[in-house]
Every structure is written in structure tokens, then in C-alpha cells.
Amino acid sequence: MNPKWNGQFSCFDLVAKTSERSRSVVQVGDIEIGGNDFVVMAGPCAVESESQLLETAVAVAEAGARILRGGAYKPRSSPYAFQGLGVEGLKILRKAREVTGLAIVTEVMSEEDVDLIAEYADIMQVGTRSMENYALLEALGHCGRPVLLKRGMTATLEDLLRSAQVIAVSGNPQVILCERGIRTFETATRNTLDIAAVPVLKTVSHLPVIVDPSHAAGVRALVPVLSRAAAVVGADGLIVEVHPCPEKALSDGNQSLTFGEFRRMMKDLQPYLDLEQEARKLRPQLLAVGGAD
Ligand code: PEP
Ligand code: MN
């Protein structure tokens, strides 16, 4: 352990790495997040229609994704933008699970919606804007589903771990952390992917860590290379936006991959995943932070 972090996060005792607990696996059906597999979640930013979601679900499953993403309740920067289909969107997600067997991850924005969304979702997503919504985090403590906790766009890693601890203390230890880019002075990308967050979080916490290259980049051209970077720094998986026709998407079209681009990205990722598998065996020597296991 790098002495800089020695003890810094130990107050978050349920999520901090200890000698007894170095790694936790979040189980979703037969999928293990934080285990030896690199788990890819993919799908549109928002559920827009049954045909849009089903087509996407089939395409991402064929390309190797294990989990389908899609927002039914959308937090938008503008009150005039598409806000999601709500319950209708949840029903479409359920149908996509029946058709493809993919597990479902979808966002919950309010503590009032937790029970409803937990009926449809396999993983409850907390978005960047909600990372410090403590009423929501506490309600997720007893939702009976794993939680995908996205880093707030202005949150430090300590803030992220504090929110994870709130969910765990409220009764739910099944938390997956997600680095999705933070606000910096840089404007060429939508956010700045803090790639160092992955090895730091894997060093100080036992929780699984995934990367969202789509919201970090804001443009689809960068998504494959950021995904490869995530794979080699030891992330446990990705959450990626994919749309049948990105230019017609109701949200986040610029950063959404086409089916063909997603297929190619998954194929191109494989040598990097193989490299990471080798690195896992030698991790103490290869990871800059050292001693991550
Ligand atoms: C999303 O996943 O579509 C989303 C809104 O993500 P974030 O909360 O990271 O902006
Ligand atoms: Mn989005």
C-alpha cells in the first residue's frame, strides 16, 4: 500500500480494503463482477422504444456484453430534454431481459422510485448527479439489489467511498464503483477520465470498479481507446452507450457507438484483456501502486 493512502480511507470500514477482505465479488445471476471476468454492460443512454431497445439488446449480447443498460428515468441538464419513458421503459427493459437473457442495469433518481425500479432491475444505477443524494443512498441500503455507484462529476475518490459506505452501512454491501469522468478545465472532452482512479480504488477498496468511457469522452471516437485503457489498468468492466442509429438518439447520441463499432471495440479489447490477465498474476510487480492484492 502506498503510504499516502495508508489509513486515509479506513474510516469507511465496510468498503475499505483490509488484510481480511481484499476483494469482493458482486454476483448478478451467473455474472460475477469483481471476479476474474471483465464484464461489459452496454445499451442506449435512454430506452426510447421497444424496437430500439430489443434491437440493441440482441446486438450487444451477440458482441459479448453480459448486462443491458438503458435509462427509463433520465436526469437531464435541461428541463426541456427527453426525461425518459418511466414505467413503460422499465417494462421494455424487462422484455429485453426475457428475450436475450441479459441482466438489466437502470438508473434510479429518487428514493421514492427505489421499490418500483428494484422490481425490474438487476442492478440499480446511481448517476453522477445523485452520488450525494443520501436519502436515495440510504433507501438503496435495503433494496435487495446490487448498486452501481457512479462517481459525482466533482467528487473526490474519498467522496465516492463515503457514498459507498452510506449504502453499505444502510444494509447493502453489494456496491460497484464507476469512474465516469470528472469536471476539469479541459473542454476537448465532455469530462476528464480519471484513469488513475481505477488502480487507486482497487488499492484502497475491496469493491469492484468499472469505467464508463462514454460519459467521460462525450464523443464516440474516443470510446474504444478509453475502454482499452480501462482494461489494462485493471478495471473489472465497462458500461458503454450503444444505439442503433446514434444520430437519431434522444440523448447522448454523440458518444453512442453503432452496433458495428461496438462489435469491433469488443474484438479489439481481447488482446488487452489477455495482457491484463497476465498482469494479474504478477500484479505486485506490474502495478505502479503495488500490493493491490
Ligand atoms: C447515463 O449513464 O446515461 C448517465 C446519465 O450517466 P452519468 O450519471 O454518469 O452522467
Ligand atoms: Mn447517457
279 vs 143, residue with greater confidence? 143
Which residue of 76, 78, 128 sits with most ligand 1 atoms within 8 Å of its CB, as the best mutation to test the pocket?
128
Mean pLDDT of 27-40: 96
List 150's β-bridge partners, or say none.
Answer: 178
Classify residue 216 by burial, with Cβ atoms within 10 Å: 0-12, 13-18, 19+.
Answer: buried
> How far is Cα 238 from Cα 88, in angstroms, rounded to an integer?
26
Lowest mean pLDDT of 81-85, 105-109, 169-173, name the range: 81-85
Provide the residue ranges of all domains of the chain, joining segments of one domain with +: 25-281
Helix H or strand E segment including 91? helix 87-100
- The three-class DSSP label of residue 234 is coil
> How far is Cα 12 from Cα 205, in angstroms, rounded to an integer?
9
* Percent of the chain whose pLDDT exceeds 70: 95
Which residue of 106, 176, 180, 250 sits with most ligand 1 atoms within 8 Å of its CB, as the best mutation to test the pocket?
180
For residue range 123-135, what is the model confidence (pLDDT) as tens digits? 999 999 999 999 9
Distance of CA 225 to the CA centre of its chain: 17
> How far is Cα 93 from Cα 91, in angstroms, rounded to an integer?
5
Within 6 Å (CB) of ligand 1, which residues are found? Answer: 45, 71, 75, 127-128, 150, 180, 212, 215
Residues 6 or more apart from 29 whose CB is under 8 A from it? Answer: 103, 122
Question: How large is the C-alpha radius of gyration of the chain?
Answer: 18
> How far is Cα 190 from Cα 77, in angstroms, rounded to an integer?
13
List 211's β-bridge partners, or say none.
Answer: 179, 238
> How far is Cα 49 from Cα 139, in angstroms, rounded to an integer?
29
pLDDT attached to residue 11: 87
Closest residue by Cα to residue 230 from 197, 191, 183 = 197
> How far is Cα 151 from Cα 277, in angstroms, rounded to an integer?
26
Which residue of 68, 212, 226, 240 sits with most ligand 1 atoms within 8 Å of its CB, as the best mutation to test the pocket?
212
> How far is Cα 6 from Cα 239, in angstroms, rounded to an integer?
30
Amino acid letter for position 293: D
Cell numbers linked to 266: 469488443
Q: Which atom of ligand 1 is nearest to the CA of 239?
A: 2
Q: Give this prediction's pTM.
A: 0.95
Contact 26, 208 (CB under 8 A): yes
pLDDT attached to residue 284: 55
- The three-class DSSP label of residue 240 is strand
Residue whose CA lies nearest to ligand 1 atom number 9: 128
Mean pLDDT of 46-59: 98
**CATH number given to 25-281:** 3.20.20.70
Q: Which atom of ligand 1 is nearest to the CA of 45?
A: 3
Mean pLDDT of 154-158: 97
Residue whose CA lies nearest to ligand 1 atom number 4: 127
Whether residue 293 has pLDDT greater than 70: no
pLDDT attached to residue 222: 98
